[in-house]
Amino acid sequence: MARTITRRSFAALAVGVPGVAALYACTPGEAPPPSPTANVAITERQTGGGGAAEEEAVAPEADLALPTIEVGAFDLYFEPANVSIPPDMDIQVILNNQGAAPHNWVVVDPELATPTLEGGGSGNVTVNLPAGTYEVICSVPGHAAAGMVGVLTVDPAAPIPATSSGGTPAAEPADATPVPAAGTSFEVGMYDLYFEPADLTIPANTDVTVTAINGGAADHNWAVTEPSLSTETVGNGGTTSVVVNLPAGSYEIVCTVPGHAAAGMKGVLTVQ
């Protein structure tokens, strides 16, 4: 069967992802990595904890009443890699493993995790965290080092996700900060070598905050070429922002790190 090469998989091949071959290098009869259960220390998950054999992790059934974010696990990345949720309320993260290797979705600190899932598997974890930025990884040995990482942003401005049944939660958290007016804040993911979304549309003559989150392995920034406006250049997992206030028009967006725009890391900012 022919294999489709996507932009993401082509970029991973172009920049070179170490450790991919290790996914399929197990010798015959060798046991796969132990499956972690939620809320178990990552070091225990990776070493087996040194005790008796762990029971097989069983994913809890999804709670249809909870606000829910779905994340896809591929070889070797999450989609989306970066997730934003409101603080101080139960949010269900459902991981769907669409890769060939086993994967999980783990908030590093505090330790929260889905079970480790085989290809085609689905599992979930409930997250309730204060405002902040949290590192997310796949804790299967070698996967995070190969780039299977992301960022969980817990922000009072983040909208409450729909429930698994498609409805909207009855109430916002009691201490939620009012959500800012629509169109005043946007998030952009920076990957190797593209933006997601590449193109943005924002209101004219309005202060708009563009927050760029680096989900790639290389350093990146988000820059308007003319007039010159740019976020800081940040490494993997970094978050940076810039306030844009421009008249109506169409503006070129690039990553100014040498070679990145030429490799296709660019987009269009439409101001109207």
Using DSSP bridges, classify how beta strands 194-196 and 223-224 pair: parallel, antiparallel or unpaired.
Answer: unpaired
Mean pLDDT of the chain: 78
Whether residue 150 is predicted with pLDDT greater than 80 in this model: the reply is yes
pLDDT at 166: 53
Distance CA 51, CA 7 (A): 43
Q: Which structural domains are found in the chain, ordered by start?
A: 59-162 (2.60.40.420), 185-271 (2.60.40.420)
Instruction: Tell me the average pLDDT across 53-76.
Output: 73
Segment 82-133, tens digit of pLDDT: 999 999 999 999 999 999 999 999 999 999 999 999 999 999 999 999 999 9
Given a cut of 50, whether residue 219 has pLDDT beyond it is: yes
Model confidence band, residue 157 (pLDDT cutoffs 50, 70, 90): confident
Size of the chain in residues: 272
Torsion of CA 133, 138, 143, 148, to 10 degrees: -50
In angstroms, the CA 85 to CA 96 distance is 18
pTM for the structure as a whole: 0.45
20-48: average pLDDT: 39
* pLDDT > 90: percent of the chain: 60
138-163 average pLDDT score: 92
